Amino acid sequence: MRVIAKGIVVMFAMIGVVASIQQVRGQSAAPLSEAKVTHIGIMVNDIDKTSKMFEEVFGATVPDAFEFGPLPLPSGVADAASSKVKFATFKIGDVMFEMIEPVAGPGPHRDHIDNFGQGLQHIAFSVPDAKGAIDALVARGGSVTMSGYVDMKELLGFTAEIAGPPQARPGQ
């Protein structure tokens, strides 16, 4: 009987060691090791005024902003159906920027403006496994604020926007 009990204890110990090794491996894996930066998101109070400043300061051509909403907020967010932003995308050199002005309702963009004012809000990454990268960032202390957005401000100072690889369009 003691031999069986010792065998069971050894078996559970081995399972624990294997599980611990797998967990340590998962923690050391960089969730964004194959990531490509797709754009930088900047929150602004007045998108029209800030667009003009980007044009004057950097010589960028900023297209007219357009409204988008409601935002894909997590379930249970009060008044989520009213969430709306104005945004414009443009390039300076090889870097794509996304300028966002929250205009109605709740959301991470409004939260950023209210808590930090204008400035960098997110860096967007394209990765082979978006769900895996999001899960890894959450396991490291991030929190999902919107579909694909993981708030890492406490740890890194910004939110990571995670998406899968861009899909090829027909004819490309």
Out of 20-34, 39-53, 101-115, 130-144, least confident range:
20-34
Candidate ranges 26-35, 93-102, 103-112; pick with highest mean pLDDT: 93-102
Can you name the residues that pair with 87 across neighbouring β-strands? 66, 100
Give the H or E element holding residue 19: helix 2-28
Q: What is the pLDDT of the chain when averaged over all its residues? A: 81
Q: How far is CA 56 from CA 59, 61, 141, in A?
A: 6, 9, 39
Looking at the whole model, is its pTM more than 0.85?
no
Q: Alpha helix (H) ranges present in 29-81?
A: 47-58
The answer, yes or no, to whether residue 5 has pLDDT greater than 90, is no
Give the H or E element holding residue 38: strand 36-43
Out of 2-6, 69-73, 136-140, 162-166, least confident range:
2-6
Q: Which of 141, 106, 112, 94 is nearest to 42 (CA)?
A: 112
Cβ-contact 90, 60 below 8 angstroms: yes
All residues at 6 or more sequence positions from 139 whose CB lies less than 8 Å from its CB, including other chains? 26, 27
- Confidence band of 170 (pLDDT split at 50, 70, 90): very low
The answer, yes or no, to whether residue 41 has pLDDT greater than 70, is yes
Residue 28 corresponds to which tokens in the numbers above? 């050391």
- What percent of the chain is modeled with pLDDT above 90? 57
- 113-160 pLDDT, tens digit per residue, is 999 999 999 999 999 999 999 999 999 999 998 889 999 999 999 999
The pLDDT, as a whole number, for residue 167 is 58
Q: How many residues in the chain?
A: 172
* Cis upstream peptide for 102 (omega within 30°): no
The answer, yes or no, to whether residue 6 has pLDDT greater than 70, is no
The answer, yes or no, to whether residue 37 has pLDDT greater than 50, is yes
